[in-house]
Amino acid sequence: MKDVTVREFDAQDNEADREQLLAAFLDIWNAEENLRFLSFTLRPFEKDIVRGWLESHKDQGGRFLCAVEENGRVIGICIAKIDPVEGFEIHGLGVRPGFKRRGIGRNLLERTIDLAAGLGFKSLDAAVFADNPAMLRLLLSLDFLPVGMDFRKRADGADILRLRRRL
């Protein structure tokens, strides 16, 4: 991952971060090869809805860690949701098409794991559609273990595997 850094974006309080993250989120989440793994409805994410999420993400416990190229382009996003009662959850991970299998997702997840540990959490959770073998392999390689399954969660009937990593 030469010339790529990971940094947290503050889309709620920083307008420049919000606009950059909005464009990247829509490109990454709506990419044909990503959408079925990131959308419960299989419908593209709409700009106004995503903007609303970004404008209030901290109020909802959200954190955005982004892989950024030297030129400033966001090529990967990891969304964490932090709740003092329910715990720390990886809410989404997406990498821009053309940049997969370069360690970007792994780096984002490792930084997210560090964030959870630094905040004092003892575990973190992730959920992945059962037909997403690349993400399943990545999570298992980072010591996440299956803890449950939710059936027929996506519009086409795909199941979700829930995983947890103890810290």
Which CATH number goes with the domain that contains 37?
3.40.630.30
Q: What is the mean pLDDT of residues 56-67?
A: 93
Q: Is residue 88 part of a domain?
A: yes
Could you report the per-residue pLDDT of 116-146, keeping only the tens digit for each? Answer: 999 999 999 999 999 999 999 999 999 999 9
Q: What total of structural domains would you count in the chain?
A: 1
Q: What Cα–Cα distance (Å) separates residue 134 from each residue in 11, 23, 89, 141?
A: 28, 25, 19, 11
Residue 152 covered by a domain: no
Answer whether residue 143 is part of any domain: no
Domain extent, residue 28, equals: 4-122
Torsion sign over Cα 92, 70, 20, 62: positive
pLDDT at 100: 92
Given this model, what pLDDT does residue 3 score? Answer: 85
Mean pLDDT of the chain: 95
Residue 136 in any domain: the answer is no
Reply yes or no on whether the pLDDT at 1 is more than 90: no
Nearest CA to 53 out of 86, 83, 79 is that of 79
Beta sheet of 123-129, edge-to-edge order: 4-9, 62-69, 74-83, 87-95, 123-129, 160-166, 145-150
pLDDT for 113 equals: 97
**What is the rounded average pLDDT of the residues 32-53?**
95
Radius of gyration, alpha carbons of the chain? 15
106: in domain: yes
Average pLDDT over residues 28-54: 95
| 16-24 CB contacts, 8 Å cutoff, 24+ apart | 18/51, 18/54, 18/55, 20/72, 20/74, 21/54, 21/64, 21/66, 21/74, 21/77, 22/47, 22/50, 22/51, 22/54, 24/66, 24/73, 24/74, 24/75, 24/77, 24/96
Average pLDDT over residues 73-80: 97
With respect to residue 40, please indicate whether it lies within any of the assigned structural domains.
yes
Q: Is residue 93 part of a domain?
A: yes
The answer to whether residue 18 is domain-embedded is yes
Beta strand segments in 48-130, E: 62-69, 74-83, 87-95, 123-129
